[in-house]
Amino acid sequence: MTQDEWGHVRGELLKSVGKNNFSAWIDPITFEGIEGRTAQLVVPTSFIGTWVSQHFGDVILRHMMSAGAEVDRIEFSVDAQGRASGATQVEPVAKPAPKPSVNGTRSAPAATTAQELPESTLNANFTFADFVVGKPNELAHAAARRVAEGGPVSFNPLFLYGGVGLGKTHLMHAIAWELRNNKPDLKVIYLSAEQFMYRFIRALRDQDTLSFKEVFRSIDVLMVDDVQFIAGKNSTQEEFFHTFNALVELGKQIIISGDRAPVDMEELDNRIASRLQCGLVVDLHPTDYELRLGILQQKVDAQRERTPDLKIAPGVLEFIAHRISSNVRVLEGALTRLFAFADLIGCEITMDLTQECLSDILRASDRKVTMDEIIKKTCEHYHLRQSDLMSPSRARNIARPRQMAMYLCKKLTTRSLPEIGRKFGGRDHTTILHGVRKIEELISVDSQIAEDAELLRRMLEA
Ligand code: ADP
Ligand code: MG
């Protein structure tokens, strides 16, 4: 696509998004070219990039395609004259590190060979100073701090786990930054399990596994993020296990993260799981209200340093902390949007503006009950195993709770009868309907059943 054609796309965009939107969001964009099937657009600030990709990404793409361009995604990068930050995509991505040298003492960059230590990319914002500590993460934070002292290895490995967006990667980068500053002689390597795998596969392909092993075994502190990625990938797991053992035997510190506890990673090699279990396993709990509010306040303070005019009405942060899910990444996304809003409209962020600006995020965060939760709670309530509930047994003490669970699925979720049927071990939708009707009938005549239904409903909706 040429600049002329981009000019045409701009004309079309003006028609579809309207003048105001066009001048606020589209006009500042520079078209750089197309690489592969990705259109490269440059924006003056990362806020605009985030905003545009969220709000106008689709329509831009559509107009480019109808102008004949062969594209299927857009990548935004920030103008060099703006802040030196990296590409902005729909997902917030880690910024490229300020060129960390992996080995603090090395001067001239050596030719990149397989023997080269993997370069760790650290996000400049993921430091301990930027990490807000609260009840849900205090243990993980304390353990990370301890490891970051770089003293004698006290627990090995440190295994951090928790759901997405709760700060695992942030803590690992913070450890790496701290060690780089305080112990520059240590070889500290941070990489994702995925990168570990690709390196290993490349070494296999280049018939260079020996140097792969040497490189990894010369490390002082190894951090592998998102280990669940290699669960089930057998030769990678095997190699990881050997690397791991070798380093532990040499008394080197290892830090690993995962989305679940080692024992709950079904496809993870049992030997690895039990090895991981030997160290210190700490989890990051979903955030609570206080922590969310603390994080919001910290990010607003940081933003104020950049844009001192930022005005947020009282109660807005409390409202967001209250309403938005436990995932910090979603929280940050919401703030980024609000900041963009404030930046461009130049007035105070009121409660009304907040609700309007974040309506989609707020809606998505509304608590929804899942069929899995219903089944779990129903089993707990009736002291049954899930396998009993799913079994074909018609015994009253099993069939009734099963019907109760079906009833709750129908009432508390938007699932259809066939979907519920599939969930309950492939039962026919007429069976589900019968179960739902049965409970409805019983509720009006059997006070025990009515009470059970009410109790379960309240627990699930809490
Ligand atoms: P995970 O690796 O667990 O999926 P990340 O470490 O990538 O999550 O965190 C997601 C985002 O939330 C990051 O931008 C991170 O800086 C931020 N974040 C998470 N926890 C905290 C915290 N306690 N204080 C400040 N920022 C946090
Ligand atoms: Mg992560």
Q: 73 is in which domain, residue-wise?
A: 3-94
Q: Helix, strand, coil shares of the chain as percentages rounded to 5?
A: 55, 10, 35
Residues 270 and 357 in one domain: no
Q: Is the pLDDT of residue 413 over 90?
A: no
Residues 347 and 402 in one domain: no
Tell me the C-alpha distance between 89 and 11, whole Å: 24
Q: How many domains does the chain have?
A: 4
Q: What pLDDT, on a 0 to 100 scale, did the predictor assign at position 404?
A: 97
Q: What pLDDT, on a 0 to 100 scale, did the predictor assign at position 119?
A: 58
For residues 236 and 267, the answer to whether their CB atoms sit within 8 Å is no
CATH number at residue 60: 3.30.300.180
Task: Tell me which of 240, 256, 283 is where a domain ends.
Answer: 283
The DSSP output letter for 262 is G
φ and ψ of 34, to 5 deg: -120, 130
Residue 257 region by backbone torsions, left for phi larger than 0, else alpha for psi between -120 and 50, else beta: beta
- Please give the angle made by the CA atoms of 59, 65 and 71, to the nearest 5 degrees: 100
Residues 141 and 257 in one domain: yes
**Pocket test residue of 123, 130, 132, 170 for ligand 1, highest count of atoms within 8 A of CB:** 170
Considering the domain boundaries, does residue 101 fall inside one? no
Ligand 1: centre distance to CA 332 (Å): 9
Ligand 1 atom 10 nearest Cα: 165
Task: Tell me which of 251, 283, 315 is where a domain ends.
Answer: 283
Ligand 1 proximal residues by C-beta, below 6 Å: 126, 130-132, 137, 162, 164-170, 295, 328-329, 332
Q: What pLDDT, on a 0 to 100 scale, did the predictor assign at position 112?
A: 34
Atom of ligand 1 nearest to the CA of 130: 25
Ligand nearest to the CA of 128: 1
Considering the domain boundaries, does residue 189 fall inside one? yes
Task: Tell me which of 365, 390, 406 is where a domain ends.
Answer: 365
Q: What is the pLDDT of residues 305-326, one digit of tens each?
A: 988 889 999 999 999 998 887 6
Please give the share of the chain, as a percent, with pLDDT higher than 90: 48
Tell me the C-alpha distance between 260 and 29, whole Å: 41
Tell me the C-alpha distance between 381 and 373, whole Å: 12
Ligand 2: centre distance to CA 287 (Å): 16
Tell me the C-alpha distance between 314 and 242, whole Å: 55
The pairing of beta strand 221-225 with beta strand 30-35: unpaired
Ligand nearest to the CA of 93: 1
Q: What pLDDT, on a 0 to 100 scale, did the predictor assign at position 98?
A: 36
Residues 425 and 376 in one domain: yes
Considering the domain boundaries, does residue 118 fall inside one? no
Output 296 or 218, whichever has higher pLDDT. 296
Q: What pLDDT, on a 0 to 100 scale, did the predictor assign at position 82?
A: 42
**In whole angstroms, how far apart are CA 229 and each of 33, 168, 234, 259?**
34, 15, 11, 9
Q: What is the pLDDT of residues 106-162, one digit of tens each?
A: 333 333 333 455 557 789 999 999 999 999 999 999 999 999 998 888 789 999 999
Tell me the C-alpha distance between 181 and 184, whole Å: 6
Tell me the C-alpha distance between 2 and 69, whole Å: 9
Give the pLDDT mean for 408-429. Answer: 90
Tell me the C-alpha distance between 243 and 212, whole Å: 10
**What residues pack around ion ligand 2 (CB closer than 5 A)?**
168-169
CATH number at residue 250: 3.40.50.300
Considering the domain boundaries, does residue 119 fall inside one? no
Residues 135 and 272 in one domain: yes
Q: What pLDDT, on a 0 to 100 scale, did the predictor assign at position 116?
A: 54
Q: What is the pLDDT of residues 430-462, one digit of tens each?
A: 999 999 999 999 998 999 999 999 889 878 866
Q: What is the pLDDT of residues 33-90, one digit of tens each?
A: 999 899 999 987 777 788 888 889 999 999 999 999 999 889 988 875 543 333 433 3
Tell me the C-alpha distance between 75 and 73, whole Å: 7
For residues 456 and 410, the answer to whether their CB atoms sit within 8 Å is no
pTM: 0.63
Residues 176 and 261 in one domain: yes
Tell me the C-alpha distance between 244 and 252, whole Å: 9
Considering the domain boundaries, does residue 111 fall inside one? no
Residues 334 and 385 in one domain: no
Helix (H) or strand (E) holding 324: none
Q: What pLDDT, on a 0 to 100 scale, did the predictor assign at position 316?
A: 94
